[in-house]
Amino acid sequence: MKKTFQLFEREGIDYEFVDYKKSKPNEALLKGFLEKVDLEELINKRGTTFRKLSDQEKAQLDGGPDALRLMMENSSMIKRPIIQFPNGELVVGLKEEEILDKVKGLS
């Protein structure tokens, strides 16, 4: 997240930060994300939160209601950053060129 904040500051991009660790995402928000990106893209499988899940829980991450519940309960396994633009587009992860292209497209 630190690099994302630095990018926004350097480029003079206004943003609103929502910390999903402190303010758990709700079902509607996650469903909205999943309308735009695949579940695979939202889950950080390299993180300790995902690795600590049981095999049964990992099997539930198939896109059904259990996947949403697991993400709401274990918000640390959601990749960061998720950048949502005013037009509804998303960028998951720190993809500087894609972020800057989308910002320019909004101008």
**Structural domains of the chain, ranges and CATH numbers in brackets:** 2-106 (3.40.30.10)
pLDDT score of 64: 72
pLDDT score of 65: 79
% of the chain beyond a pLDDT of 70 = 99
pTM of the entire predicted model: 0.85
pLDDT digits (tens, 9 = 90+) for 32-72: 999 999 999 999 999 999 999 999 999 988 767 799 999 99
CA–CA distance, 81 with 91 (Å, rounded to integer) = 8
The pLDDT mean for the chain works out to 92
pLDDT score of 62: 79
pLDDT score of 63: 67
Q: Find how far residue 83's CA is from the centre of its chain.
A: 7
Q: In the 8-state DSSP scheme, what is residue 64?
A: S
| CB distance 71 to 42 below 8 Å | yes
Least confident of 9-18, 19-28, 59-68, 81-90: 59-68
> 16: closest CA among 86, 78, 107, 64?
86
> 70: closest CA among 16, 27, 22, 6?
27
Task: Give alpha helix (H) positions in the chain.
Answer: 2-11, 27-34, 39-42, 48-51, 55-59, 65-73, 96-106
